[in-house]
């Protein structure tokens, strides 16, 4: 399993709109160590990242991060 040369995500897990109308996006990427979950506020602003062994675990981590954001005031689900 190697990341593609242009580092495209395997999938977009979710998008959330923040209180300042910014879109925060979570993507899952395949890597040599497993699957990376990445949360970005912009293409160049990586807010959080972790690597997990399986795609199932990566999706569960992404869901927990989404739930944590949505529990905060001013955050709402955004369409993919």
Going from N- to C-terminal start, the domains of the chain cover 11-73
Q: What is the mean pLDDT of residues 71-75?
A: 95
Strand residue runs (E) in the chain: 11-17, 23-31, 34-42, 45-52, 76-78
Q: 54 is written with which tokens? A: 């399986």
Distance CA 14, CA 37 (A): 11
Within its chain, how far is the Cα of 28 from the centroid?
Answer: 6
**φ, ψ at 64 (rounded to 5°):** -65, -40
What pLDDT digit, counting tens, does each position of 5-49 carry?
458 999 999 999 999 999 999 999 999 999 999 999 988 899 999
CA distance 78 to 51: 24
């Amino acid at each position: 399993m190697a990341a593609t040369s242009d580092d495209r995500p395997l999938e977009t897990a979710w998008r959330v709109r923040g209180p300042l109308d910014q879109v925060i996006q979570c993507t899952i990427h395949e890597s040599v160590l497993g699957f990376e979950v990445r949360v970005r506020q912009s293409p160049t602003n990586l807010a959080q990242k972790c690597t997990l062994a399986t795609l199932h675990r990566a999706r569960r981590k992404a869901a927990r991060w989404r739930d944590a954001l949505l529990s905060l005031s001013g955050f709402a689900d955004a369409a993919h």
